[in-house]
């Protein structure tokens, strides 16, 4: 495509030997970039509250994220993302409080570059939040994909994405509550994992799981992904909004070079590098990076907070001024063309094959689900928890249903059950051994 080709023609990156990405994936030129999103009529596999669960998008160490569907009173359908704490962790009081606090913080925020939280609640003993669905890859996925092509985002697109996130951070840092008082939110986890790029070229910041307010007291325990922490975070010192600016500087460095500036073999080495070492010059990696843009990056990466941009808004202004002088502003469609050209059409599907095949942690959601399920062909079937359809049309086995029940138990009961089952198996083994010896 002409749009994506023009961006890539200006890109020079380090030799391929400098990139060691084990997750090699096939890529091809994207298609249908300008068509409206056609969302398949996925069958509902479960329900939580008023939301129909269509399939799992991702599973992390603490939570699962699903594509869900909400049917409005006027008959319209809205697709959203539903996030909930893993079943095996929902009995952890601290975990539930952190999760609900994330929802409360994010639901107060309304900005075009912040992924909005529509709803926070509990149903069937499960705490959940409902978020805006950003249909597209994370910045982390994009950077990794481009590394496979021995390239990186152009300086113009990198600055554009960083300016959008700086705008979001400036809004977050200055947001006020309904009482007019500043919320003084610090995100604390600004990373490529938490920056989403939609297939239509929108840029969104998400995940306020460890966000804190200055008024409530930011934690002095390092939180977040180590490679993106500020020096003061690593030292467990008090932090303010300038810690987020440092993290955004790390993201911008990575966009421009494909290299994480503080990536090392171990956490202690990462922490030492953040506190004591300066990253290599951007221009030593990519000679075509403009000197002024490099100065913006390294100002954000200053070791001492007072040497960084005073606010995220100041960094946004510096980036936008540079963009204007270097061919900007950047329309959404231009970003969409470039990003989309590196992913195959099937990779852009809302749900991947097998997304409705869930682990035991899904049991609490499917239990008692008896509402009619709309099949892709438009027919309806009356399903139960044992007869739910999946994207692979494979019925859930007795073993999987027992696995579901196990993970739905409170931790103490699960431990006692495991202890009892282990004792029975040990006794059976001893009996078999004795009979064999005789």
CB 23 within 8 A of CB 353: no
Helix (H, G, I), strand (E, B) or coil at 8: helix
**Pairwise CA distance, residues 168 & 113, whole Å:** 5
Helix (H, G, I), strand (E, B) or coil at 19: coil
Supply 262's token pair.
């503080």
Q: Which of 20, 92, 170, 189 is catalytic?
A: 189
CB 241 within 8 A of CB 312: yes
Widest CA span in the chain: 90
**Pairwise CA distance, residues 270 & 221, whole Å:** 16
Phi-psi region of 393 (alpha: psi -120 to 50; beta: other; left: phi over 0): left
Residue environment code for 394-432, b if the CB has 16+ CB neighbours within 10 A, otherwise e:
eebeeebbebbebbbbeeeeeeeeeeeeeeeeeeeeeee
Residue 73 among the catalytic residues: no
Compute the C-alpha angle 406/68/356, nearest 5°: 50
Helix (H, G, I), strand (E, B) or coil at 218: coil
Supply 425's token pair.
């198996």
Active site residues: 189
């Amino acid at each position: 495509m002409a749009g994506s080709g023009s961006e890539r023609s200006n890109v020079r990156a380090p030799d391929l030997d400098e990139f060691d990405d084990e997750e090699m994936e096939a890529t091809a030129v994207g298609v249908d970039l300008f068509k409206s999103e056609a969302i398949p009529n996925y069958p509902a596999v479960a329900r939580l509250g008023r939301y129909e669960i269509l399939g799992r998008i991702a599973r992390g160490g603490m939570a699962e994220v699903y594509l869900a569907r909400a049917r409005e009173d006027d008959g319209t359908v809205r697709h959203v993302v539903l996030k909930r704490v893993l079943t095996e962790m929902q009995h952890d009081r601290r975990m539930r409080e952190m999760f609900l606090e994330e929802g409360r913080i994010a639901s107060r925020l309304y900005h075009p570059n912040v992924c909005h939280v529509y709803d926070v609640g509990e149903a069937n003993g499960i705490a959940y939040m409902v978020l805006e669905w950003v249909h597209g890859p994370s910045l982390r996925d994009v950077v990794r994909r481009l590394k496979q092509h021995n390239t990186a985002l152009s300086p113009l697109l990198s600055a554009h994405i960083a300016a959008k996130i700086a705008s979001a951070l400036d809004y977050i840092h200055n947001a006020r509550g309904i009482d007019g008082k500043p919320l003084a939110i610090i995100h604390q986890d600004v990373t490529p994992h938490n920056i989403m790029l939609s297939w239509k070229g929108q840029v969104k910041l998400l995940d306020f799981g460890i966000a804190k307010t200055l008024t409530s007291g930011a934690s002095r325990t390092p939180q977040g992904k180590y490679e993106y922490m500020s020096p003061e975070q690593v030292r467990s010192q008090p932090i303010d909004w300038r810690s987020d600016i440092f993290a955004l500087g790390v993201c911008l460095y990575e966009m421009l070079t494909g290299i994480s500036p503080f990536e090392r073999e171990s956490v202690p080495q990462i922490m030492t590098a953040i506190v004591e070492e300066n990253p290599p010059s951007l221009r030593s990696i990519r000679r075509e990076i403009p000197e002024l843009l490099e100065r913006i990056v390294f100002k954000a990466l200053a070791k001492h907070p007072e040497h960084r941009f005073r606010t995220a808004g100041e960094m946004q202004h510096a980036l936008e001024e540079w963009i204007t002088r270097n061919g900007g502003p950047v329309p959404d469609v231009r970003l969409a063309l470039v990003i989309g050209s590196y992913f195959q059409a099937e990779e852009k599907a809302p749900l991947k094959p097998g997304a409705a095949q869930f682990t035991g942690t899904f049991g609490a959601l499917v239990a008692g689900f008896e509402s009619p399920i709309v099949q892709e062909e438009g027919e309806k079937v009356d399903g139960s928890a044992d007869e739910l359809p999946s994207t692979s049309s494979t019925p859930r086995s007795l073993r999987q249903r027992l696995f579901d029940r196990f993970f739905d138990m409170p931790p103490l009961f699960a431990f006692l059950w495991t202890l009892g089952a282990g004792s029975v198996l040990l006794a059976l083994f001893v009996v078999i051994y004795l009979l064999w010896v005789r």
